[in-house]
Structure formats: structure tokens, C-alpha cells
Amino acid sequence: MISDCVFCRISSGEISSKKIYENANFFSIPDASPRVDGHSLVISKKHFATILDLPSELGEEFIDCVKITSEKLMREKNASGFNVISNNFKSAGQVVHHVHFHIIPRRKDDKMDEELMFG
């Protein structure tokens, strides 16, 4: 755990959060500043700075968390699709240097600006 990392503090329970789903190595929560209704995050419980630091053997649990979270969001938010986005390193827009993935529920003709997803 990195003491000044907000995601480490959420993972340890120091900061409370409403978990959407959780398994042994990942959890998902609503984004604190959502870009769209249902915007959520999948976060590793252990601190890894970027996806390059994430051990490959955690891939199955990562996909499990993404799939279950996305299915739940699509159902609850009446979405017909979703995007999974991960910004890695400052130059790519990563703000919190703890690996995390944005799940963005999408609706047909939502006209969501691509900059919302990547900017």
C-alpha cells in the first residue's frame, strides 16, 4: 500500500466506497467524477502503477471484474454497450498512478464526445 494513493486507501478500507463488485484482487466502484451516468472504475487491490506492472496471472480475475461490473451497469443504466479505457503514464492522461480501468456505459445515439473517453 502506498499511503498517499487514494486507490490504496479505498482498497484498505481507510476511505469508504460503495463497491459494485469485488473478487480476490480487484474491485469496482462508481467514479467520483463521472463523465456519464454509470461511469465506474475497476481497480486492483494491490498497488501497481500501470497495466505494465500488473502481473499477467491476474488477467482472469481482471476480466471477471470487468465483465460482471459491465453487465450490471448495462442492466441498471439501460445501456446497450460499454467502453473499457485505461490511461497509462502521465503523457497518456493517467492522473492516479494506481492501475485502474474506466467502464463507460453507452447507449445507442448517445453522441458521447470521444474526448470524454480519452481526454
Q: Which residues are catalytic?
A: 100
CA separation for the pair 28, 37 (Å, rounded):
15
DSSP letter, residue 88: -
Kindly state the cell numbers that stand for 47.
Answer: 498497488
CB of 21 within 8 A of CB of 27?
Answer: yes
Is the distance from CB of 83 to CB of 102 less than 8 angstroms?
Answer: yes
For the stretch 58-62, contacts whose Cβ atoms lie closer than 8 Å and that sit 24 or more positions apart, written own/partner, are: 58/25, 58/26, 61/23, 61/24, 61/25, 61/26, 62/25, 62/26, 62/101
